[in-house]
Amino acid sequence: GQQLNQSPQSMFIQEGEDVSMNCTSSSIFNTWLWYKQDPGEGPVLLIALYKAGELTSNGRLTAQFGITRKDSFLNISASIPSDVGIYFCAGQLIGSSNTGKLIFGQGTTLQVKP
C-alpha cells in the first residue's frame, strides 16, 4: 500500500538545538499534516498544509509542503524539554480528496536533554 517514509526514526538532542525531520513518498499528496503524540494520548495536530510550496509556522514550529507534492518537512527551533514526544507526518493522497483517509509516517521519536 501507500507509504510515507519519515526520517529520522529517532533523535536525541540538547535543549536549545534546532530539529529537522521530513517525510517523503513516491506518491503525490494534496494535504500534509504534522502531529505530536505523547505516551498514552492521541496525536495532537501541530500544523496543516494544503498547497505545494506552502510554508507555515506555529510558534517555534515551521513546516513546508514540498513543491513536488511528494514531501514535507517540520522544523523545531530552540528545542525545550516539553518538545519530547513522537512526531508524525500524515498525508492525504491526491485522488482521495473526497474522503478523510490519512496515510501516516512511522514517526520520529524526539528526546531532549536539558
Partner 1 sequence: KAGVTQTPRYLIKTRGQQVTLSCSPISGHRSVSWYQQTPGQGLQFLFEYFSETQRNKGNFPGRFSGRQFSNSRSEMNVSTLELGDSALYLCASSLRTGAYEQYFGPGTRLTVT
Is residue 110 close enough to count as binding partner 1 by CB under 8 A?
no
Beta-bridge partners for 72: 23, 65
Among 12, 14, 26, 41, binds partner 1 (CB under 8 A): 41
Among 21, 72, 107, 108, binds partner 1 (CB under 8 A): 107
Nearer to partner 1, 28 or 80 (CB): 28
Q: Give min distance, CB of 17 to partner 1, in A.
A: 26
Q: Give min distance, CB of 35 to partner 1, in A.
A: 7
Phi, psi of 97 (to 5 degrees): -70, -5
Name which of 31, 72, 57 is nearest 47 in CA terms. 57
Sort strands 108-113 and 10-14 into parallel, antiparallel or unpaired. parallel
Is residue 90 close enough to count as binding partner 1 by CB under 8 A?
yes
Q: Measured between alpha carbons, how far is 24 from 89 in angstroms, rounded to an integer?
A: 10
Is residue 73 close enough to count as binding partner 1 by CB under 8 A?
no
